Structure 1
Amino acid sequence: MDRAPGSSVRVKLTLSYAGFLMLAGVLLLAAVWLFLLRYVPDRALIVPGSTGTLTGGVFPIRSNLLRIFAPRAAAVLAFLLLFGLAGGWILAGRILAPLTRIRDATSMAANGSLSHRIRLPGRKDEFRELADAFDTMLARLEAHVAEQQRFAANASHELRTPLAISKALLDVARTDPNSDADEVIDRLHAVNTRAIHLTEALLLLSRANQRSFTREPVDLSLLAEEATETLLPLAEKHGVAIDTSGDITPTSGSQALLLQLTTNLVHNAIVHNLPAQGTVRVRTSVRPKTVVLTVENTGEKLTPELASTLTEPFRRGTERVHADNPGVGLGLAIVKTITHAHDGTLTLTPRPAGGLRVTVELPALGARR
């Protein structure tokens, strides 16, 4: 934003300090003058010989006092003015020194350097609270930018793969007259379907990130039942049993997004399971200010380090996925984004016996977090 040039804050503070000091000096001198006027008589009677004089008489005092007091008062005010300007300039500089560091850090951040931190030393005060808040903002912004860059690179790679496969299939069909057209069409259909699913997942992820949805009352327990019924054929195909139970869990948010969250969790629990006789448990519960959705499944043992990375985009854990259901690698990433968009928390915990427990905690209906 273009602004007209103006006086610096340091100059304004200096003038304010000097002005206040001058005002205090004027009031003090005025108080002294009023004191003198009250207790010093207008005239004094001098008795001959009392002060070493040969003659006596009546002499004016206040008029002489004014001639003596006025120039000295002016000198005091001049000194206070100079002292106030010099002292105010020094004090204003010391007080505003932290703002200089904050301004420099802001300029560096505006130029793209997000790794710089202010780290203002000293005890806690308003300036240091501002600097700490700015450092926290820079850290989160740096992490967010890095995450977006990784996401953009991964998304570009994932989208390029089906396009490259499609091009290769078309090249083969064009150069090889003996190629099976039906087989090429089937493979192109599968590749195109996967590209569509990936694009839809990316759009859903972007929508959840922007929080461009209308909040309405939602019952997570109903969404869990709906997601379970929808994915029951897939569970039967993989020999996975689903157990759904729990309490009514009213919250506020987008029903479509929360249904997608629940569906992704149940789908992930089905395809990341044992080869046979696996189980998936879906639970809903209510806490004092939150509602909880828990989805856990059997499967291979996971380390806490691996579990913490499963919400990263395009992290499939392919060693645990059925070959006929590879997915697009955005299921848990979408769950994480939707959870945060609804002011909730997502926790992934490996089960001791194998598998994963995923807990989504959202504010209860009417609660403020």
Structure 2
Amino acid sequence: MRFGVNYTPTHGWFHHWLDFGLDDVRADLDSIAALGLDHIRVFPLWPVFQPNRTLIRPRAVAQLVSLVDAAHERGLDVAVDGLQGHLSSFDFLPSWITTWHRRNMFTDPEVVEAQGAYLTALAGALAGRPGFLGMTVGNEVNQFAGDPHPDPDRITVEQAERWLRRMLAACERGAPGALHAHASYDRAFHDGAHPFTPAHSARLGAVTAVHSWVFNGTARRHGPAGTATEAHAAYLVELSKAWARDPHRPVWLQEVGAPAPSVPAEHAPAFTRATLGYVLDCPDLWGVTWWCSHDVDRALADFPELEYSLGLLTHDREVKPVGRELARCVREWRAGAPAPEPRRTALLLDAGDEESAPLRAVCAPGGAFFEAWARLAARGLRPAAVLAQRAGDAEHLAARGITEVVTVDEAV
């Protein structure tokens, strides 16, 4: 089991790549390592690293390598995201795919070729470095492919899969055998019209990545201490497994946090403990990476209010109550937590066609499947999820340890 955090630099946030200071990075990493965590996830800004379609800046790549080396010196492994992409409500796209050069980032042949070259270059520079875990194609790049983005690059399900396969192959060329993945925000699991699908998440790449944010309507419906809210991360982990072909495919909870006001600050430590309690009870969990390491500096303007308070530490590197609680939970787990038992009861999920899942709105907060799963969890039944297409497959159920399948109507 891995426990880590998404690294948000204290000096300049992710704009620190424009004014990179290794001493500041080292101080940040020292404060993260002191929490007892074992890895970080880092975010190069795409326009800074590849400002022209045929220019990948060597100095920027060298700075990334120095960050990875500094993390390793402090006992922290590093996962690197590539196409940034989208972070904390801001889009970071290079000028060669916007305005006068506007073209679809998922289908334009020259753009796709350049993206692949960039990912291969980053992965190649990091291949073999101690502590390098692997690449994530980008941070929630699926948000560029549909609503509610104000200027989406619309594509089909088939085009999304083709793009993902090509990007993952580019990562593999640079660093063969590393932990390469892709990450979608939860619209991929909730919106039947979205071109990035649960099957993509659960079948492409070395691990399934899920991002759990209870400001998606869950906390509003169920309150900050409701079972559906505290078990939301576990819900996404188990939901993703319904589409996995490998019954023991690892799932990485790549983002999870305690966002105010959905989770009031005074409740954040309790939410953290409860969230970890639920998700660590999921078999085949690769690890948990909290969002985020340090609060955003209030000297920086125009962030959504919640972004200024999501850190485990303050902008001055002081540990917050939520950071102390996370560190305490990690220590307790490492002291000898037993491996989770298989989840024997599965809730039947009918999302329509297995590949495109047009009915996946039932999985969103307020949807029939979501609410039924939450009711079962509140009764202590540790529900899994199984697609309707597989509910009668005895071999599949046995491989997952499922002995009982219940319908939404039966989950009362």
Q: With structure 2 as the length reference, what TM-score do the two structures score?
A: 0.18
Larger Rg: 1
* Structure of higher RCO (CA pairs closer than 8 Å, 6+ residues apart): 2
Q: With structure 1 as the length reference, what TM-score do the two structures score?
A: 0.20
